[in-house]
Each structure stands twice: as structure tokens, then as C-alpha cells.
Amino acid sequence: MKKIILTSITAAALTAGYAQARDSYDHIRFGVDVPYEPMEYRTPDGELTGFDIDLGNALCDQMEVTCEWVEQQWDGIIPGLLARNYDAIMSSMTINEERRAQVLFTDSYLTVPSAWFGPVDSELEDISEASLEGLTLGVQRGTLQDNYATDFYGDMATVRRYASVDDMLLDMEAERIDIVFVNYPVGKTTLLDSERSEYRVIGEMINEPYEYFGDGIAIALRPRDEALAERFNEAIAAVKEDGTYDRIHERYFGEEEE
């Protein structure tokens, strides 16, 4: 019994030491779900790139810390953060109430709408309960698009949930799903920007209701890392100030988007 107590005290002391060391954060590990072009993806030669990646690296430079990117599938990205597999999530995560109960968000660094994408020859003209009746919709599992599509159209249409955007697009190409609901820049880059795109946006850009689309995209941290959130907020303000942010934004979204 004594031994057990002693062991647990040592363990507690060690973890406390460990936690303290981690709290000063001179090295930050970001969790990211790849691919999600243009937010985060790999170039043909395998290098990790994208808006989040470049901005994250710029923030690290600003904060004078080193950083590292850890790949994690989307549906486990919050549990992975809480399990300390990485220290921050920078993966186009939109702030919403459900997530706020689990993680601490920094200030928002980007706002993007979501949109429905379907084949050019699709007969759909608008998105409504009537027009989606009986169709098959594709979403990435656990995204706000999943929640939105499930809650609004889950009763009249079949919602198919994919682990990655890649799998989903493959199934739309195969004509297994009629239409997909994704974050607009991702849909634009992966579906519209290719030379002979066979897809188009259907209906309008969607960024309401607030419960689903929230306050824009931010970095997510463990709730206790308030000091780190403060440092991130200062860094975000600084890169916006000195023009780094605009350069990165232009690189991935072009000028006309603003």
C-alpha cells in the first residue's frame, strides 16, 4: 500500500513537472486534418502547405516558438487535443457553442461561408426541403456542415457522412451522391478551379444560422491554456498589422475574394 502511494506521489510530481514545462510552450504542436485544400493540403512532392499551415508558421515566428504539425482525422480532432496529442488545433475549425464547451478558442482569424456543390448538369436550382427531397447529400463527418445538413435536411434526404473530403468527392464523381455541402474555399479549390470542372455552386452561400456557423474560424486550445490563447491573439493581431496575414491570404484566396 505504501509503495502504491509513493508511486502515485512520484507520478503526480512527474506529471506536474511535465505540465509546467509544457505550459511555457516554446514548442507548439498543431493538430490538422489533411487534405482540405486550400486550407491544408500536400503539394505533389509531399510538402504540407495551405492557408492554415502558412499562417500557423507565421504565428509561431511571431511568438518566437518552434512548431510542428500533427495529422489527425477530423472526427477525432478534439479528443486528440484533450488527450494532449498536440497543443492546438489549426484546421479551419469554426467557433460554435458545442465546441466551445470542450475547447478554448482564440480570436477568429478567418470567416468563410459554406456552399452546396453539385454537377453542372444537376437539375437542382435552389436548396430547399422540397428540392432536396429523396436526394443523397454528402458531408464530412462531425463538421458544422454535417450538423446543418443532418438537422435541416436529414428527414427528407439521405445524408452520407465521410471521414475525409477526398472520399466524399470520389463518391460524387462516381454519381453516388447528388450534392455535397462543404466550406466554400475548399469546394471552390477542389471542385471548381480545375481546367474542365464539371461542378457548380448550387443556391447561395450559407453562413447562418449562428448556432451552426458561429463566429468564424479560430485556433482551438485546451481550456486551461488561457495564457497561450492570449499569446496567440497578440500574434494574430501582429501578423494582421504587419501585412504578413494579407500576403498569405492573397496567396491562397487571390485578391478578388476580399
Partner 1 sequence: MLDFSAWFNDLLAGNLIFTPTTLGYYWEGLVTTTQLVFLALLAGLILAVPLAIMRSSKHKWISLPVYLYTYVFRGTPLLIQLYIIYYGVVFVDGIQQTFLWPILREAFYPALIAFTLNTAAYTTEIFRGAIKATAQGEIEAARAYGMSPRLMMRRIILPSAFRRALPAYGNEVIFMLHASAIASVVTLMDLTGAARFVYARFYAPFEAFLFVAAIYLCLTFAILYFFRYLEKKLLAHLRPQTA
Q: Under the rule (CB under 8 A), what is the footprint of partner 1?
A: 74-76, 78-79, 82, 98-99, 102, 141-142, 146-147, 160-163, 167, 170-171, 173-176
Tell the smallest beta-carbon distance from residue 57 to partner 1 (Å).
27
State how far the Cα of 80 lies from the Cα of 77, in Å rounded to an integer: 5
Going by C-alpha positions, the residue among 147, 134, 21 that lies closest to residue 84 is 21
CB of 10 to partner 1, least distance (A): 27
Pairing verdict, β 114-119 and 88-94: unpaired
Stretch (H or E) spanning 61:
helix 51-63
CA distance 180 to 202: 10
Distance CA 185, CA 168 (A): 16
Q: Which is nearer to partner 1, 55 or 157 (CB)?
A: 157
How far apart are CB 190 and partner 1 at their closest, in Å? 17
Supply the minimum distance, in Å, between the C-beta of residue 224 and partner 1. 17
Nearer to partner 1, 59 or 172 (CB): 172
Output 71 or 75, the one with its CB closest to partner 1: 75
Q: Among all chains, which residue has been given the C-alpha cell 447528388? A: 178
Q: Which of 169, 180, 191 is nearest to 138 (CA)?
A: 180
> What's the closest the beta carbon of residue 113 comes to partner 1, in angstroms?
22
Pick the closer one to partner 1 by CB: 100 or 240: 100
Q: State the minimum distance, in angstroms, from the CB of residue 15 to partner 1.
A: 21
Q: How far is the CB of 82 from partner 1 (least distance, A)?
A: 8
Tell me 85's DSSP state: S
**In the chain, beta strands by DSSP E:** 27-32, 41-42, 48-49, 66-71, 88-94, 104-105, 114-119, 136-140, 158-162, 179-183, 199-206, 217-221
List of residues 6+ apart from 12 with CB closer than 8 A? none
Q: Which is nearer to partner 1, 140 or 190 (CB)?
A: 140
**Cβ contact 88:220 at 8 Å:** yes
User: Which residue, 143 or 190, is less far from partner 1 as judged by CB?
Assistant: 143
> Crossing angle, helix 51-63 and helix 244-253, to 10 degrees?
170
Give the residue with the Cβ less far from partner 1, 37 or 146.
Answer: 146
